[in-house]
Amino acid sequence: MEKALAIDTTKLTKSYGGSRGIVDLDLTVEAGDFFGFIGPNGAGKSTTIRTLLGLIHLTSGSARVLGHDIVEEKEKILSKVGYLPSEIFFYPKMRVKEAIRYSADLRGASCSKRAEELCERLDLDPMKRVEDLSLGNRKKVGIICAVQHHPDLLILDEPTSGLDPLMQKEFFSILMEENKEGSTIFFSSHILSEVQAYCRSAAFIKDGKILLSDKVGNLEQTGTRKVTVYGSLTKEKLNGLSGITFTNDARDEGLKFLYNGDIQKLLTLLAEEKIRDITITEPTLEEIFMHYYES
Amino acid sequence: MTILKQEINSQKKMLLIWSLVIGVLIASCVLMFPEMKSQMGNVNEMFSSMGNFTQAFGMDRLDFGTLTGFYMIEGGNILGIGGAFFAAIVGVSALMKEERDHTAEFLFSHPVSRVKVITQKLLSVLSIIVIMNAVVIVLSILSIAIIGEEFFWKEMFLFHLAHFLMQLEIAGICFGISAFLTRGGLGIGIGVAAMMYFLNLIANISKSARALKYISSFSYTEAADIVESGGLEMKYLLPGMAFMIIGIIAAYVKYTKKDLR
């Protein structure tokens, strides 16, 4: 039986006047998934999210969130979704607990106990004024507003920016708990390590288009190998091979590259060189990401 | 009503300050009236012989020596300018501030439709203007009671009703403008209020500019007309209310289609 979809877009397009936002975006996220939405700045991650939530209007195409049409049934969607924007702002004179309660009131929900518990877990003083909070602490308030009502779908736009590593860990453990209880988690990020560590599925977006969308396990097993060679090998000698992306930076001593061509051809070429050391490993998601964006 | 409550709550300090400033200024004028009354013979003569200036403020048709005339000219200037600026600020910031303060993303990611948000914000503008006027009226009545002068209920009711409607008109127009803005609307709002005020002054001074009275929201607050006719000038009030309704409709049309920043 096919799994229900939390997000399902068909040729979703959003353009701002003449400039590109997202183009013919086809994206599916299964209900209950922990999904990473990866892309560099300006790729269209926030535009996708803001279009799905109805903050901006689509130009063409269609999308359904939790089975509801994003144009016709916006309120139904928003009642089942929790959202954390990349930069969150609250009404300046409010105290933390007032902002959290206001969010619950807007949903017609009563979740003060849950909010209290989350404040404690995230080490947040509910009596502080939101205007006095740092970016990280504002984000914590946003996290509580997004999860306190146990949404069916949590959409988070670059959620960990501004959070210290301890808080990031606590934040992800809250997300894991929500996910275990049935919430679908959809978060955008350019921190690949966190996507690799927590997500079951991921999609790469570039220039407003989805490059690739799959299970993280499949994305990691692309057949691409990360090769590091110390010795006489130079870039020029590898020119004859296809499927090479050099990943050296200025500090690197050896020659580093991603290779997804015929491994036998590479080994034949290497056999003719004087090699001090060599490693051939699976690339990290970050290296795969760089490979896609640079090629 | 969650948004309505929040709107009023977040503006209570500004509301209190504006209400007290306008109310106390009018009350102070009233409290000074007994002292001024004795010297009013000369003042009246002086005010009625200042040509265009006299005409501009309607002082050629009102008796400065009576509390009715004094209250409606002095109070009219204070409540006219103060009330119009206050209404303009409240109206123009109502929708715009969500984007200016970057809170739109927070508010509109909750299950509230844009129509509901606009309606509750509109109700908050109305409530805030009602409260401001109520404070001003209470302080005015108290000050009249203190000096022991006779009340002029009918004129007072019409005078405050006219100013209330004028504030609603300016707030409605500015509310419409607010939907198109993402920041910096205060200057535009105050500009609209000031323009309305000066259009009326020009129309009072120059006969050839009389048509401006149909545009200015101050034309139906003219104290001399209210006292003379015992009512509000419908020919000026109706276009004003039409401008207000157009402003409100524009807000609904624009804001429901707007891409929020």
CA distance A85 to chain B (A): 7
Average pLDDT over residues B102-106: 94
DSSP B19-60: HHHHHHHHHHHHHHHHHHHTTHHHHHHHHTTSTHHHHHTTTT
User: Where residue B54 falls among pLDDT bands split at 50, 70, 90?
Assistant: low
Q: What is the pLDDT of residue A216?
A: 86
Q: What percent of chain B has pLDDT over 90?
A: 74
Is 90 exceeded by the pLDDT of residue A223?
Answer: no
Count of structural domains, chain A? 2
In a domain, A145, yes or no: yes
In a domain, A30, yes or no: yes
Average pLDDT over residues A17-33: 92
Is 60 exceeded by the pLDDT of residue A1?
Answer: no
For the segment A28-63, what is each residue's pLDDT rounded down to a tens digit? 999 999 999 998 888 899 999 999 999 999 999 999
* A–B CB contacts, 8 A cutoff, strictly below: 62
Question: 141-170 in A: which are within 8 Å (CB) of B?
Answer: 142, 145
Specify the 3-state DSSP secondary structure of A66: coil
Is 80 exceeded by the pLDDT of residue B10?
Answer: yes
HSE (side-chain half, CA atoms, 13 Å) at B58: 23
In a domain, A229, yes or no: yes
Of A115, A197, A106, give the one whose Cα is nearest residue A150. A115
| Best of A55, A81, A83, A90 to mutate (most B CBs within 10 Å, chain B) | A55
Same domain, A41 and A150: yes
Measured distance CA(A212)–CA(A288) in Å, rounded: 11
Residue that the structure tokens 């700045």 belong to: A41
In angstroms, what CA-CA distances link B220 with B28, B210, B211, B215, B223?
25, 13, 13, 10, 8
Q: What is the pLDDT of residue B37?
A: 77
CA angle B94, B96, B101 (to 5 degrees): 105
Q: Indicate the average pLDDT of chain A.
A: 89
For the segment A161-206, what is each residue's pLDDT rounded down to a tens digit? 888 888 889 999 999 999 999 999 999 988 888 888 899 999 999 8
B209: amino acid identity, one letter:
A
Q: What is the pLDDT of residue B40?
A: 66
- Domain locations in chain B as residue ranges: 2-257
For the segment A240-291, what is each residue's pLDDT rounded down to a tens digit? 888 888 877 666 678 888 888 888 888 988 888 899 999 988 777 777 777 6
Same domain, A192 and A271: no
* Last residue of one domain, picked from the residues A178, A193, A215: A215
Q: Indicate the average pLDDT of chain B.
A: 91
Average pLDDT over residues B157-182: 97
Same domain, A154 and A46: yes
Q: Which chain A residues are closer than 8 Å to B111 by Cβ?
A: 75-76, 78-79, 106-108
In a domain, A220, yes or no: no
Q: What is the pLDDT of residue A2?
A: 64
Tell if the CB–CB gap between A91 and B101 is shorter than 8 Å: yes
Chain B: which residues have CB within 8 Å of chain A? 2-3, 6, 10, 101-113, 257, 259-260
Task: State the alpha helices, DSSP H only, in chain B.
Answer: 2-10, 12-37, 40-47, 52-56, 67-70, 76-100, 104-107, 114-147, 153-180, 186-205, 223-229, 234-257
Comparing CB atoms, the residue among B106, B110, B257 nearest residue A90 is: B106
* Last residue of one domain, picked from the residues A165, A186, A215: A215
Q: Which chain A residues are closer than 8 Å to B108 by Cβ?
A: 53-55
Average pLDDT over residues A136-159: 94
HSE (side-chain half, CA atoms, 13 Å) at A23: 9
Q: What is the pLDDT of residue A18?
A: 77
* Last residue of one domain, picked from the residues A186, A215, A244: A215
A171: amino acid identity, one letter:
F
A41: amino acid identity, one letter:
N
Strongest mean pLDDT among A109-123, B209-223, B245-259: B245-259
Same domain, A154 and A72: yes
Token pair, residue B148, equals 């022991």
Same domain, A25 and A89: yes
Comparing CB atoms, the residue among A78, A85, A87 nearest residue B111 is: A78
Comparing CB atoms, the residue among A57, A92, A93 nearest residue B257 is: A57
For the segment B38-50, what is each residue's pLDDT rounded down to a tens digit? 776 666 666 666 6
Q: What is the pLDDT of residue A234?
A: 85
Specify the 3-state DSSP secondary structure of B241: helix
Asked if residues B10 and A91 have their Cβ atoms less than 8 Å apart, the reply is yes
Q: What is the pLDDT of residue A84?
A: 96
In a domain, A147, yes or no: yes
Owning domain of residue A257: 225-294
| Predicted-complex ipTM score | 0.86
Question: A16 burial class (0-12, 13-18, 19+ CB within 10 angstroms)?
Answer: exposed
Q: What percent of chain A has pLDDT over 90?
A: 54
Same domain, A180 and A126: yes
